[in-house]
Structure 1
């Protein structure tokens, strides 16, 4: 069994495996909603990368779930919650890499050495299965293949699919209601307004927030440390994020801030952010504007762009109108609600040249409008209309 998630969703695939009481493993691959970054000296380009997951089954029930890139640190986060200090030695960890499921082998190695008890092992497995299914049930695109074969051994316990899917599907629906303030379990919470937090929260609560909002711990890691599901953690911090007392950033944003700080010491080029899901458009804009002394940052994920632009603080934004998940009109309207972007020029990019599109762009606060395809001269003239070119170098 194999196919595309545009034709059949994860929920239906899991139901088929359960009904057929299949044994084997399911591989799912999809573009990551969290982007990778590439520094090329002139621009910072955010590229989508592939992410994969494995789900192991026995007679239509789940034994274990694992990300394609096995990270034993996931288990380490749970061990942190249970205050388990003993870890395997490096040589022992190295031997696990040759197994079919290194994380699962790690848990069994801890069990065999009596470092953890079966109850804790079961709880860790349940947590990892839950978070993996949360990611999978959030997918709308990608590919899958189910290999029927021998089961992952040994088995500590198995989990019924139907109740898990019902519970997690409801959580995914509630999670979507937190957009755009909370977008990804991989975002890192950082304190944004300590004065407001100090005046509104008890000292003990503030101390806990300060401990976890170090810019190094993601929402998902925080959920593991607290042994809570990701939705519970997100809902707890949502009011503070909504009031901008806490900010959620991506690790690449922090890298970009350090990169920018170094760059600002040697030049003061004007920064332009291009939000367009078509990589070719970002590359074209970079090729036109970089030789003219502008710094160009291309973002291909509209949801992620909303968070990143607040960190990047661009002098001008180019934004495509038609994009999956979030339209350019919506992005423009959201940015205009922030005092930070009230006066920043926002130019809408579109393949259409219609009067209605121009009117709608104006209604949401767009500064101007550029129809694709455009010439080098058209783009440069529009940019120079809103940015003082003499201050770019």
Structure 2
């Protein structure tokens, strides 16, 4: 949804708790000018209602929230020519580059992972559990927003809140017993489709099967997109699911993250090697850590190869093509 200039300015004013925003908007409406969002905000910045840095921070948070919703899905982003949104950034008002947004998404993903025991995904649906001990303001808020029908992302969108900050607040409320979460139907369908056993060494197109084990959904999505044209990809975010997939699929290679909560990648690699039928299964360890010592630990655990993040698509495919026997390329 693209907001009009007054709508966007109102959202900014509410987020920044600008007490004079209503008066400033009335003054802005009296100006005889176009509906340009850029001109509208320029005027409010000149009035010192807010700064361009605050505009950029707000837009960046909105953008990160949108990307977090899009990342789990394959598809294309297309432009709608009939929609106009002329907010632009210049040298003095810098915009957003993917190379800057990517590490921020990674940091946020780690925070999402920390919430996972109580909040399984951004699409999870909160339900009121027991609010008898909640204060009046919290009770009113919960009764307003939590209806057992709308997901976390729905609530954050409707209330114009950062979904991560909202999740962190709700996580605290789950700890005191006020809220509980359940997976949305859409999340259950995605989980089922991403971990569906095939029982064969290749899929219908003849692609070899690669198991990617990583607790970061951002990393998992990037890996899948990088190699799915050449390989079938099945995903696991923990050691138990990974072992179940190994036993129910004829996996050709395992991509294994070193740092995972609970059973880490090194321990899982040792477990895989302790099972006779997996003695020769290629296991490629992925980690953000570099250095001879870390590579040595991976080799001692039984890793076939060791790659340091970030990994380019070309490098990843080069390693997979080297270790997967008789690979049939798409």
**TM-score category by the smaller chain?**
0.3 to 0.5
Q: TM-score, normalised by structure 1?
A: 0.37
- Scaled by the length of structure 2, the TM-score of the pair is 0.43
Structure number with greater CO (CA < 8 Å, separation at least 6) is: 1
Structure number with higher strand proportion: 1
